[in-house]
Amino acid sequence: MYRFLLFAIFIYFNPIEATESFQFSKIKHELDKKAAYVLQAHGAPGVAIAFIQGDKILGFLSYGAADIKTSAVITKDTMFNVGSISKVVTTWGVMQLVQNGQVDLDKPINQYLKRWKLPRSHFNTNAVTLRNVLSHTSGLSLGPYVGWNTSKQVPTIVESLKGHNNGAGTLKLIYKPGSRFSYSGGGYSIVQLLIEDVSGMGFEDYMQKKVFKPLGMISSTFDVTNNVIKKSAIPYDETGKQTSMLYFAEQAAAGLQTTALDLARFGLATLKDSKGQYNGAHLLSSELIEQMITPVPHTKGRWSMSYIIDSENESLGFSGFNRGWISLMRLIPEQNLGYVILTNSSINGVSNEIDNLILRHIRQTEF
Protein backbone atom coordinates (compact mmCIF):
# COMPACT_ATOMS: atom_id res chain seq x y z
CA MET A 1 0.00 0.00 0.00
CA TYR A 2 1.21 3.58 0.43
CA ARG A 3 1.92 6.10 3.16
CA PHE A 4 -1.23 8.12 3.62
CA LEU A 5 -1.10 11.90 3.34
CA LEU A 6 -2.85 13.78 6.13
CA PHE A 7 -3.26 17.24 4.66
CA ALA A 8 -5.97 19.43 3.27
CA ILE A 9 -6.35 22.42 1.00
CA PHE A 10 -8.95 25.06 1.79
CA ILE A 11 -9.78 28.07 -0.35
CA TYR A 12 -12.37 30.77 0.36
CA PHE A 13 -13.95 32.54 -2.60
CA ASN A 14 -16.42 35.37 -2.96
CA PRO A 15 -17.42 37.36 0.13
CA ILE A 16 -20.53 35.84 1.69
CA GLU A 17 -22.93 36.70 4.45
CA ALA A 18 -21.97 35.79 7.98
CA THR A 19 -24.65 33.10 8.30
CA GLU A 20 -23.46 31.35 5.14
CA SER A 21 -19.82 31.55 6.22
CA PHE A 22 -20.67 30.11 9.64
CA GLN A 23 -22.52 27.17 8.17
CA PHE A 24 -19.75 26.38 5.71
CA SER A 25 -17.16 26.75 8.46
CA LYS A 26 -18.97 24.11 10.51
CA ILE A 27 -18.96 21.65 7.63
CA LYS A 28 -15.33 22.44 6.87
CA HIS A 29 -14.37 21.84 10.49
CA GLU A 30 -16.02 18.41 10.46
CA LEU A 31 -14.44 17.46 7.14
CA ASP A 32 -11.02 18.57 8.34
CA LYS A 33 -11.40 16.15 11.24
CA LYS A 34 -12.76 13.17 9.33
CA ALA A 35 -12.22 13.27 5.55
CA ALA A 36 -8.59 12.17 5.54
CA TYR A 37 -9.43 9.24 7.79
CA VAL A 38 -12.30 8.24 5.50
CA LEU A 39 -9.79 8.05 2.67
CA GLN A 40 -7.37 6.09 4.81
CA ALA A 41 -10.02 3.62 5.96
CA HIS A 42 -10.97 2.83 2.37
CA GLY A 43 -7.43 2.90 0.96
CA ALA A 44 -8.45 5.68 -1.42
CA PRO A 45 -6.17 8.37 -2.86
CA GLY A 46 -8.03 11.67 -2.76
CA VAL A 47 -11.18 13.77 -2.87
CA ALA A 48 -12.15 17.28 -3.96
CA ILE A 49 -15.23 19.05 -2.59
CA ALA A 50 -16.84 22.37 -3.48
CA PHE A 51 -19.83 24.10 -1.88
CA ILE A 52 -22.28 26.58 -3.38
CA GLN A 53 -25.15 28.65 -2.05
CA GLY A 54 -27.34 31.20 -3.80
CA ASP A 55 -25.20 32.64 -6.57
CA LYS A 56 -21.84 32.07 -4.89
CA ILE A 57 -19.16 29.43 -4.50
CA LEU A 58 -18.60 29.16 -0.74
CA GLY A 59 -15.32 27.29 -0.85
CA PHE A 60 -13.15 24.44 -2.04
CA LEU A 61 -11.62 21.63 0.03
CA SER A 62 -9.37 18.74 -0.89
CA TYR A 63 -7.87 15.85 1.00
CA GLY A 64 -5.38 13.15 0.06
CA ALA A 65 -3.46 12.97 -3.20
CA ALA A 66 -3.96 13.54 -6.89
CA ASP A 67 -0.99 11.25 -7.49
CA ILE A 68 0.14 8.77 -4.84
CA LYS A 69 3.64 8.30 -6.29
CA THR A 70 4.53 11.98 -6.33
CA SER A 71 2.35 13.01 -3.36
CA ALA A 72 0.90 15.75 -5.57
CA VAL A 73 -2.02 17.45 -3.87
CA ILE A 74 -5.44 18.03 -5.38
CA THR A 75 -5.83 21.71 -6.19
CA LYS A 76 -8.72 23.83 -7.46
CA ASP A 77 -7.31 23.24 -10.98
CA THR A 78 -7.12 19.43 -10.75
CA MET A 79 -9.38 17.78 -13.33
CA PHE A 80 -11.52 14.67 -12.87
CA ASN A 81 -13.74 12.59 -15.13
CA VAL A 82 -17.31 12.89 -13.84
CA GLY A 83 -18.94 10.03 -15.74
CA SER A 84 -22.69 10.27 -16.09
CA ILE A 85 -22.87 13.81 -14.73
CA SER A 86 -21.91 14.53 -18.35
CA LYS A 87 -25.55 13.76 -19.18
CA VAL A 88 -26.92 16.58 -17.04
CA VAL A 89 -24.43 19.07 -18.48
CA THR A 90 -25.35 17.95 -21.99
CA THR A 91 -29.03 18.52 -21.23
CA TRP A 92 -28.31 22.21 -20.63
CA GLY A 93 -26.79 22.29 -24.10
CA VAL A 94 -29.53 20.53 -26.02
CA MET A 95 -32.28 22.45 -24.24
CA GLN A 96 -30.95 25.62 -25.83
CA LEU A 97 -31.86 24.11 -29.20
CA VAL A 98 -35.34 23.58 -27.78
CA GLN A 99 -35.52 27.15 -26.53
CA ASN A 100 -34.44 28.47 -29.93
CA GLY A 101 -37.16 26.47 -31.67
CA GLN A 102 -34.68 24.24 -33.51
CA VAL A 103 -35.85 21.08 -31.74
CA ASP A 104 -39.24 20.13 -30.33
CA LEU A 105 -39.23 18.08 -27.14
CA ASP A 106 -42.17 15.98 -28.27
CA LYS A 107 -41.54 15.32 -31.95
CA PRO A 108 -39.85 12.13 -33.19
CA ILE A 109 -36.15 12.44 -32.46
CA ASN A 110 -35.37 10.64 -35.73
CA GLN A 111 -36.48 13.68 -37.73
CA TYR A 112 -33.53 15.68 -36.37
CA LEU A 113 -30.87 13.06 -37.11
CA LYS A 114 -28.99 13.14 -40.41
CA ARG A 115 -26.09 10.65 -40.18
CA TRP A 116 -27.87 7.85 -38.30
CA LYS A 117 -31.47 6.89 -37.54
CA LEU A 118 -33.06 4.70 -34.90
CA PRO A 119 -33.43 1.22 -36.43
CA ARG A 120 -36.84 -0.33 -36.95
CA SER A 121 -38.39 -2.06 -33.99
CA HIS A 122 -41.52 -3.90 -32.88
CA PHE A 123 -42.24 -0.63 -31.05
CA ASN A 124 -42.96 2.75 -32.60
CA THR A 125 -39.70 4.61 -33.18
CA ASN A 126 -41.67 7.79 -33.92
CA ALA A 127 -42.67 7.80 -30.25
CA VAL A 128 -39.03 8.25 -29.21
CA THR A 129 -38.69 11.95 -28.44
CA LEU A 130 -36.06 14.18 -26.91
CA ARG A 131 -38.25 14.51 -23.82
CA ASN A 132 -38.37 10.78 -23.09
CA VAL A 133 -34.73 10.24 -24.08
CA LEU A 134 -33.58 12.85 -21.55
CA SER A 135 -35.67 11.25 -18.79
CA HIS A 136 -34.66 7.65 -19.64
CA THR A 137 -38.25 6.72 -20.48
CA SER A 138 -37.66 6.30 -24.23
CA GLY A 139 -37.52 2.49 -24.13
CA LEU A 140 -33.98 2.47 -25.52
CA SER A 141 -31.38 -0.12 -24.51
CA LEU A 142 -27.70 0.27 -23.73
CA GLY A 143 -26.95 1.47 -20.19
CA PRO A 144 -23.38 2.48 -19.32
CA TYR A 145 -20.34 2.74 -21.57
CA VAL A 146 -16.94 1.34 -20.61
CA GLY A 147 -14.77 3.61 -22.74
CA TRP A 148 -11.38 2.94 -24.29
CA ASN A 149 -7.85 2.87 -22.87
CA THR A 150 -6.27 4.92 -25.66
CA SER A 151 -7.51 7.78 -27.80
CA LYS A 152 -6.52 5.89 -30.96
CA GLN A 153 -9.20 3.27 -30.27
CA VAL A 154 -12.07 5.74 -30.06
CA PRO A 155 -14.62 5.43 -32.91
CA THR A 156 -16.90 8.18 -34.18
CA ILE A 157 -20.23 8.72 -32.48
CA VAL A 158 -21.99 7.23 -35.51
CA GLU A 159 -19.80 4.12 -35.35
CA SER A 160 -20.61 3.83 -31.65
CA LEU A 161 -24.34 4.04 -32.34
CA LYS A 162 -23.90 1.25 -34.87
CA GLY A 163 -22.43 -0.99 -32.15
CA HIS A 164 -18.68 -0.28 -32.23
CA ASN A 165 -18.46 0.75 -28.56
CA ASN A 166 -16.16 -1.71 -26.77
CA GLY A 167 -18.87 -4.15 -25.79
CA ALA A 168 -21.53 -1.77 -24.52
CA GLY A 169 -23.95 -3.20 -27.03
CA THR A 170 -26.20 -2.26 -29.91
CA LEU A 171 -28.69 0.52 -29.34
CA LYS A 172 -32.22 -0.82 -29.73
CA LEU A 173 -35.78 0.15 -28.90
CA ILE A 174 -36.75 -2.58 -26.44
CA TYR A 175 -39.77 -1.10 -24.61
CA LYS A 176 -42.76 0.97 -25.58
CA PRO A 177 -41.58 4.60 -25.45
CA GLY A 178 -42.95 6.50 -22.48
CA SER A 179 -44.15 3.38 -20.67
CA ARG A 180 -41.37 2.80 -18.14
CA PHE A 181 -38.02 3.94 -16.81
CA SER A 182 -34.99 2.27 -18.38
CA TYR A 183 -31.61 3.93 -17.98
CA SER A 184 -29.99 4.43 -21.37
CA GLY A 185 -26.56 5.91 -21.94
CA GLY A 186 -27.20 5.20 -25.60
CA GLY A 187 -30.02 7.72 -25.55
CA TYR A 188 -27.53 10.44 -24.71
CA SER A 189 -25.33 9.36 -27.62
CA ILE A 190 -28.35 10.16 -29.78
CA VAL A 191 -28.53 13.56 -28.06
CA GLN A 192 -24.87 14.13 -28.87
CA LEU A 193 -25.54 13.30 -32.52
CA LEU A 194 -28.63 15.51 -32.53
CA ILE A 195 -26.66 18.50 -31.21
CA GLU A 196 -24.08 18.10 -33.96
CA ASP A 197 -26.59 17.48 -36.76
CA VAL A 198 -28.88 20.36 -35.81
CA SER A 199 -26.26 22.95 -34.82
CA GLY A 200 -23.74 22.09 -37.52
CA MET A 201 -21.02 22.24 -34.85
CA GLY A 202 -18.85 19.59 -33.26
CA PHE A 203 -20.12 18.52 -29.84
CA GLU A 204 -17.12 19.90 -27.92
CA ASP A 205 -17.25 23.26 -29.71
CA TYR A 206 -20.98 23.54 -29.15
CA MET A 207 -20.74 22.79 -25.44
CA GLN A 208 -17.85 25.20 -24.97
CA LYS A 209 -19.82 27.99 -26.61
CA LYS A 210 -23.28 27.28 -25.20
CA VAL A 211 -22.59 25.96 -21.70
CA PHE A 212 -19.01 26.12 -20.44
CA LYS A 213 -18.09 29.69 -21.35
CA PRO A 214 -21.43 31.26 -20.35
CA LEU A 215 -21.22 29.55 -16.94
CA GLY A 216 -17.54 30.41 -16.41
CA MET A 217 -16.46 26.78 -16.65
CA ILE A 218 -12.97 27.55 -17.87
CA SER A 219 -11.49 24.15 -17.00
CA SER A 220 -14.02 21.80 -18.57
CA THR A 221 -13.85 19.76 -21.75
CA PHE A 222 -15.04 16.60 -23.47
CA ASP A 223 -11.74 16.29 -25.37
CA VAL A 224 -9.14 14.42 -23.32
CA THR A 225 -5.89 15.74 -24.77
CA ASN A 226 -2.37 15.28 -23.40
CA ASN A 227 -2.64 18.69 -21.78
CA VAL A 228 -5.90 17.67 -20.06
CA ILE A 229 -4.25 14.49 -18.78
CA LYS A 230 -1.39 16.55 -17.29
CA LYS A 231 -3.96 18.63 -15.41
CA SER A 232 -5.95 15.60 -14.24
CA ALA A 233 -5.62 13.51 -11.13
CA ILE A 234 -4.31 9.97 -11.56
CA PRO A 235 -7.22 7.48 -11.59
CA TYR A 236 -7.15 4.39 -9.34
CA ASP A 237 -9.42 1.35 -9.50
CA GLU A 238 -11.59 -0.22 -6.78
CA THR A 239 -8.51 -1.87 -5.21
CA GLY A 240 -6.51 1.36 -5.08
CA LYS A 241 -4.32 0.36 -8.02
CA GLN A 242 -3.44 2.97 -10.63
CA THR A 243 -5.38 2.58 -13.86
CA SER A 244 -5.39 4.23 -17.26
CA MET A 245 -7.33 7.26 -18.40
CA LEU A 246 -10.56 6.51 -20.26
CA TYR A 247 -11.60 7.92 -23.62
CA PHE A 248 -15.16 8.07 -24.94
CA ALA A 249 -16.77 8.56 -28.31
CA GLU A 250 -19.94 8.86 -26.22
CA GLN A 251 -18.88 12.15 -24.68
CA ALA A 252 -22.39 13.34 -23.81
CA ALA A 253 -23.02 10.18 -21.81
CA ALA A 254 -19.75 9.81 -19.93
CA GLY A 255 -16.84 11.91 -21.17
CA LEU A 256 -16.75 15.21 -19.26
CA GLN A 257 -13.41 16.13 -17.71
CA THR A 258 -13.74 19.03 -15.25
CA THR A 259 -12.73 20.42 -11.88
CA ALA A 260 -14.68 20.55 -8.64
CA LEU A 261 -15.02 24.31 -8.96
CA ASP A 262 -16.24 24.16 -12.55
CA LEU A 263 -18.81 21.53 -11.68
CA ALA A 264 -19.88 23.73 -8.78
CA ARG A 265 -20.30 26.61 -11.24
CA PHE A 266 -22.53 24.36 -13.29
CA GLY A 267 -24.53 23.47 -10.18
CA LEU A 268 -25.11 27.16 -9.51
CA ALA A 269 -27.20 27.38 -12.70
CA THR A 270 -30.01 25.49 -10.98
CA LEU A 271 -29.84 27.56 -7.78
CA LYS A 272 -31.31 31.06 -7.42
CA ASP A 273 -29.89 34.53 -6.84
CA SER A 274 -30.98 37.08 -4.23
CA LYS A 275 -33.90 38.10 -6.48
CA GLY A 276 -35.21 34.55 -6.68
CA GLN A 277 -34.15 34.07 -10.30
CA TYR A 278 -32.31 31.01 -11.54
CA ASN A 279 -28.61 31.74 -12.00
CA GLY A 280 -28.80 29.88 -15.30
CA ALA A 281 -31.61 32.08 -16.63
CA HIS A 282 -29.24 33.66 -19.14
CA LEU A 283 -29.00 30.24 -20.80
CA LEU A 284 -32.51 28.85 -20.41
CA SER A 285 -35.89 30.26 -19.45
CA SER A 286 -37.22 29.59 -15.96
CA GLU A 287 -39.97 27.52 -17.56
CA LEU A 288 -37.51 25.15 -19.22
CA ILE A 289 -35.39 24.89 -16.08
CA GLU A 290 -38.51 24.00 -14.11
CA GLN A 291 -39.32 21.29 -16.65
CA MET A 292 -35.80 19.92 -16.34
CA ILE A 293 -36.05 19.46 -12.56
CA THR A 294 -39.67 18.27 -12.28
CA PRO A 295 -40.27 14.51 -11.82
CA VAL A 296 -41.63 12.80 -14.93
CA PRO A 297 -44.20 9.96 -15.18
CA HIS A 298 -43.19 6.30 -14.96
CA THR A 299 -40.11 6.99 -12.80
CA LYS A 300 -41.81 6.76 -9.36
CA GLY A 301 -40.87 10.39 -8.80
CA ARG A 302 -37.15 9.61 -8.88
CA TRP A 303 -36.17 11.17 -12.21
CA SER A 304 -36.74 14.45 -13.95
CA MET A 305 -35.78 15.41 -17.48
CA SER A 306 -32.08 15.09 -16.60
CA TYR A 307 -31.72 15.11 -12.78
CA ILE A 308 -32.13 12.35 -10.20
CA ILE A 309 -34.72 13.31 -7.57
CA ASP A 310 -33.82 12.30 -4.00
CA SER A 311 -37.04 12.92 -2.09
CA GLU A 312 -35.62 11.57 1.18
CA ASN A 313 -32.96 14.28 1.21
CA GLU A 314 -35.09 16.86 -0.63
CA SER A 315 -32.43 17.24 -3.28
CA LEU A 316 -31.67 16.71 -6.93
CA GLY A 317 -28.43 15.91 -8.68
CA PHE A 318 -26.53 13.12 -10.35
CA SER A 319 -23.71 10.64 -9.77
CA GLY A 320 -20.99 9.47 -12.12
CA PHE A 321 -19.10 6.17 -12.13
CA ASN A 322 -16.28 5.37 -14.55
CA ARG A 323 -13.26 3.19 -13.92
CA GLY A 324 -10.97 5.26 -11.72
CA TRP A 325 -13.53 7.97 -10.96
CA ILE A 326 -16.63 8.58 -8.86
CA SER A 327 -18.48 11.89 -8.75
CA LEU A 328 -21.51 13.34 -7.02
CA MET A 329 -23.41 16.59 -7.49
CA ARG A 330 -26.17 17.34 -4.97
CA LEU A 331 -28.43 20.39 -5.05
CA ILE A 332 -30.93 21.25 -2.29
CA PRO A 333 -33.36 23.77 -3.81
CA GLU A 334 -35.28 24.50 -0.60
CA GLN A 335 -32.10 25.75 1.03
CA ASN A 336 -30.60 27.08 -2.21
CA LEU A 337 -27.50 25.07 -1.41
CA GLY A 338 -25.36 22.49 -3.16
CA TYR A 339 -22.04 20.70 -3.30
CA VAL A 340 -19.95 18.40 -5.45
CA ILE A 341 -17.69 15.53 -4.40
CA LEU A 342 -15.09 14.21 -6.85
CA THR A 343 -12.79 11.24 -6.20
CA ASN A 344 -9.97 9.82 -8.30
CA SER A 345 -10.75 6.18 -7.59
CA SER A 346 -13.51 3.60 -8.02
CA ILE A 347 -13.76 3.13 -4.25
CA ASN A 348 -17.40 3.93 -3.64
CA GLY A 349 -17.35 4.23 0.15
CA VAL A 350 -15.49 7.54 0.13
CA SER A 351 -18.10 9.68 -1.61
CA ASN A 352 -20.91 7.93 0.28
CA GLU A 353 -19.42 8.66 3.70
CA ILE A 354 -18.55 12.25 2.90
CA ASP A 355 -21.97 12.84 1.37
CA ASN A 356 -23.64 11.45 4.50
CA LEU A 357 -21.45 13.59 6.73
CA ILE A 358 -22.41 16.75 4.84
CA LEU A 359 -26.10 15.84 4.77
CA ARG A 360 -26.11 15.34 8.55
CA HIS A 361 -24.77 18.84 9.04
CA ILE A 362 -27.27 20.33 6.62
CA ARG A 363 -30.17 18.64 8.41
CA GLN A 364 -28.95 20.03 11.75
CA THR A 365 -28.60 23.58 10.42
CA GLU A 366 -31.37 26.12 10.11
CA PHE A 367 -30.95 28.23 6.99
Domains with residue ranges and CATH for the chain: 8-84+225-272+309-364 (3.40.710.10)
| Three-class DSSP category at 68 | coil
Q: Which of 2, 66, 63 is nearest to 34 (CA)?
A: 63
- Tens of pLDDT, residue by residue over 148-205, are 999 999 999 999 999 999 999 889 999 999 999 999 999 999 999 999 999 999 999 9
When mean pLDDT is compared across 6-15, 315-324, 329-338, 343-352, the lowest value belongs to 6-15
Q: What is the pLDDT of residues 66-117, one digit of tens each?
A: 999 999 999 999 999 999 999 999 999 999 999 999 999 999 999 999 999 9
Please tell me the predicted confidence (pLDDT) of residue 169. Answer: 87
pLDDT for residue 23 = 75
Q: What is the pLDDT of residue 364?
A: 81
What tens digit of pLDDT does each residue of 115-134 get?
999 999 999 999 999 999 99
* Single-letter amino acid, residue 212: F
Count the alpha carbons within 13 Å of 6 in the hemisphere toward its beta carbon. 6
Please tell me the predicted confidence (pLDDT) of residue 3: 37
Q: Supply the DSSP symbol for 127.
A: G
Considering the chain, what percentage of its residues have pLDDT values greater than 70? Answer: 93
Average pLDDT over the chain reads 93
Residue 265 host element (H or E):
helix 260-268
Give percent above pLDDT 90 in the chain.
90
The Cα 78–Cα 74 span in angstroms is 6
